[in-house]
Amino acid sequence: MNKKVQLQDLGRKDYKATWDYQEALFAAIVAQKMAKRDHPEITTDNHFLFVEHPHVYTLGKSGDLSNLLLSEKQLEEKGATFYKINRGGDITYHGPGQIVGYPILDLENFFTDIHKYLRLLEEAIILTLAEYGLQCERSQGETGVWLGVGTPFARKICAMGVRASRWVTMHGFALNVNADLGYFDNIIPCGIKGKAVTSLNVELGVDKVNEEEVKQKILKHFSSLFEAELV
């Protein structure tokens, strides 16, 4: 089993271009898995992409388009784009000030359990935010990371949505670090009504959080939880 994970930080990159890149990496791993049937010595690759997207709304395959509260013209006025995509989950927003992580892993190198995969991704974020003094948790039946669960002030700080086929993953998580939360007013985030969205800088009461520092903490916890070697 190959537990090496190739890390790339793509900087700010268009959503569609990044999605196409994910699909190419995903297809390459699936091809390696097919070849491995006849050549057991072949190892399959793993990748972890960090990226920041320009303003974009994405709707998962089980999502409801009515959760987007903007017309095409209004999207254009806000400088935002919209895509229907092939991950799970409903609608979400990506934009500047948000750390997006896309692990493209062959889970057969780690464990074959999608539920465990999602819980460990959540745990990496929960442990990261704990380093900033925030007590974050899961909300039953709602993938992602939250604060104030069970109170009238429940708020989501990290959204998650993945796709997996032949035990190969794509898409991932979006952690609000210095995000403009006003863009979430244009959707019903993740299709969940009546719950707010927050960002790390808001929770800490500061203008700006060091995003590179947050990334390093995420990677530390990700590599520990997955017993992975980042290269």
Which residue positions form the known binding site? 87-94, 159-161, 172-174
Number of Cβ within 10 Å of residue 69's Cβ equals: 12
- Identify the residue whose tokens are 């959540």: 122
* Residues recorded for the chain: 231
The CATH number covering residue 23 comes to 3.30.930.10
Phi-psi label, residue 174: left if phi above 0, alpha if psi -120 to 50, beta otherwise: beta
**pLDDT digits over 77-121, tens only?**
989 999 988 887 788 899 999 999 999 999 999 999 999 999 999
For 138-196, the DSSP string reads EETTEEEEEESTTSTT-EEEEEEEEEEETTEEEEEEEEESS--GGGGGGB-GGG-TT-E
- State the total domains in the chain: 1
Percent of the chain with pLDDT over 90: 74
Instruction: Give residue-wise pLDDT tens across range 128-184.
Output: 999 999 999 998 888 899 999 988 899 999 999 899 999 999 999 999 999 999 998
Query: Which residues are known binding-site members for substrate?
Result: 87-94, 159-161, 172-174
Question: What average pLDDT score do residues 28-55 get?
Answer: 96
Q: Which residues of 148-166 are buried (b: 16+ CB within 10 A; e: fewer)?
A: bbeeeebbbbbbbbbbbee
Write out the residue range of the structural domain in which residue 115 sits: 4-230
Claim: this prediction has a pTM higher than 0.75: yes
Catalytic residues: 190
